[in-house]
Amino acid sequence: MSSFLAGFRLIKAGWVFAREGVVAAMPREGLSGPALTAHKIATKMSRRRAGRLNNVERMNNAITRLGPSYAKLGQFLATRPDIIGLDLAVDLATLQDQMKQFPTAQSIARLEDSLGAKWDTFFTRIEEPVAAASIAQVHPAYVRMPDGSEKKVAVKVIRPGVRQRFQKDLDTFFMFANLQEKYFPATRRLRPTAIAQTLAQSTRIEMDLRLEAAALSEIAENTKDDTDFRVPKVDWVRTGRNVLTMEWVDGIKMSDTAALTKAGHDLNILAVNVIQSFLRHAMRDGFFHADMHPGNLFVDAKGDIVAVDMGIAGRIGMKERRFLAEILFGFIQRDYRRVAEVHFEAGYVPPHHDINAFAQAIRAVGEPIHDQPAETISMGNLLTLLFDVTEIFDMQTRPELLLLQKTMVVVEGNARMLDPQFNMWKAAEPVVGDWVRQNLGPAAVVNDARNGIKAGLRLMKAMPELANRTEQLAHEVGAMAENGMKLDPATVKAIGKAEAKESRWGRRALWVIALSALYIAWTLT
C-alpha cells in the first residue's frame, strides 16, 4: 500500500513541477531518448503564465503546492549543480522558502517537550514568529539575566509533523530515483538512489537542532579571532532536539544595499569581507557555511557580517584544500601542466588518460581568462568550466567540491551585488596566497613531517591489534579453502529479499506509468 501511495504522490509531484514550468527550466543538454521526450512533454504541459516567471518564482509556486519537503529538496539540489546545472543551482540557493507560520501555542508545546519543563522556566516572554521556513520557524523571546534585566534572543522551533511528512515524501523520492536508474541508464553515473540517501541523511541532521547548534559553535570557535565575521552565540541551556536558542541579531540584510548605504556602511569593503571570510573558512578551517545567500547574511552596526541558519554546512579535507589552492595558483601562473598533474596526483582523473591531452584541455579553460579584465573574471565560472572539462576525462563526482563550487558562486554573486566592479582575484589573493605559503611552501614540509611522525606513532600503537587480526584472517582463509565458503542464514535471506525487491520495482513501475496516464487523462477532461 505504501508503494501505491508513493506512486500517487510521485504522479502529483511530476504534474505540479511540469505545470509550474520547473521541468521546462531544467537543462535538456545531454538528454536523449525517453528522457528528452519527457522533458519536451513537460515543457508543453507548463502553464502559459509560467513562461513569464523566473526559475525561483516557478519553484516557489511548485513548493507552495507541494509542501515543506519539496522546499528542502530544492535546497538540497542547489548543492548538486552536476545534476541540475549551475544556473538553476544558484537560483535554488537563493530560494527563500517562506512557508506558512504555525501557531505560537504549538511552538511552546514543542519547546516544553524538548526542554523538559514549562516554557516560563526558561523565558520571560515568547512573541509571535517573525519567519517560517520549511523545517522550522523563529520567534523573538526574552530571558532573565542575573542582574534582573531582560535579554532578547531568537528561538528556532521545529515545525510540527515535519519529520513524518518528510518520511512519506522520502518514499516518493526513492521511488523516483529507482525508476530513474532502471529506465534511464545515462543517469546512473549520477547515482540517483545514493543522492536520495544523502538527502535523507542530511535532512535528518538538519531536523535535529542540536546539530545546527554544534555547527554554529564550531564556526564561532574557528572565527573567534576574525574581525569582520561572526555567527550568533548559542544558548545551550535552552537548546534541544526541537528548539535552538541563540543570540538575537540586530542588523541589515546584505540584500538591502540601499539600507546599508544609508547606515553608512562601505559596500566595497563588505564585498571584500564576504569573499575573504568564505575563503578563509573553506581553506583555513575546512568548514564553511554552505547556504550563504543574502537572506542569511546580516551586517551589524559595527560593519561585521553575521551569518545565520547553519542548517547546511560544508567540510573539505586537507587534500581537497591543497588541490583547490594548487589549481587556482596554476591558472594564475598559466602553468597548465601543473594543474593537470595535480588532478592526477589527487586521483581525481583515472591514470589511463593522457596527461598531455588533459593539460591541453585545461589550457582551453585557462587561456581565455587572461584576455579579460580582472574584475570580469569569475572564480566560480572558472571552476564550472574546469569541472565540465574534467567530466570528459571521467573525473568522478566529488560532492564536497561541488558544494564548495556552488557556495563560491553564490558568495561571489553577493560581492558583485555590493560592488558591480568587484575584482575577485585581488580580493582572494591575500587569503589564497597566505594559505599557499603556509601549506605548499617550506612550512608545509615541516607540517607534513610532523603529521607523518604522528601517523607513525599511531601505527606503532595499533600494531598488536593488526597482528591479531591478520592471524585471525589467515585462519579464516585457510578454513574457507578447505571447506568452501558458507553463507549464514541472514545473508541468504538478504539476497532473497534483494531479488524479490528488484522484481517488485518492475511491477510497481508499470503501475505508476499506467496510473500516471489515467491521472493526466482525468485532469485534462
Q: Who contacts 382 (Cβ-Cβ below 8 Å, separation ≥6)?
A: 331, 365, 369
Q: Distance between alpha carbon 55 and the CA centroid of its chain, in Å?
A: 19
What one-character-per-residue DSSP string does 68-127 give? Answer: HHHHHHHHHHTT-HHHH-HHHHHHHHT----PPP--HHHHHHHHHHHHTS-GGGT-SEE-
Taking the CB of residue 1, how many other CB atoms lie within 10 A of it? 5
82, 97, 291, 335: the catalytic one is: 291
Question: Distance between CA 286 and CA 325 in Å, rounded?
Answer: 13
Report the alpha-carbon distance of residue 59 to residue 416 in Å, rounded: 24
Q: Is 194 helix (H, G, I), strand (E, B) or coil?
A: helix
Angle (CA) 211 217 221, round 5° = 145
* Number of residues written out for the chain: 525
For helices 192-206 and 209-222, angle between their N-to-C axes, nearest 10 degrees: 80
What is the Cα–Cα distance from 432 to 329, expressed in whole angstroms? 8
Position 30, amino acid: G
Neighbour count for residue 334 (Cβ, 10 Å):
13
Instruction: Say if CB 414 and CB 292 are below 8 A apart.
Output: yes
The x, y and z cell numbers of residue 120, run together, are 516560563
User: Is 371 a catalytic site residue?
Assistant: no
Q: What is the SS3 assignment for 338-385? A: HHHHHHHHCCCCCCCCCHHHHHHHHHHHHHHHHHCCHHHCCHHHHHHH
Contact 234, 217 (CB under 8 A): yes
Which active-site residues does the annotation give?
291
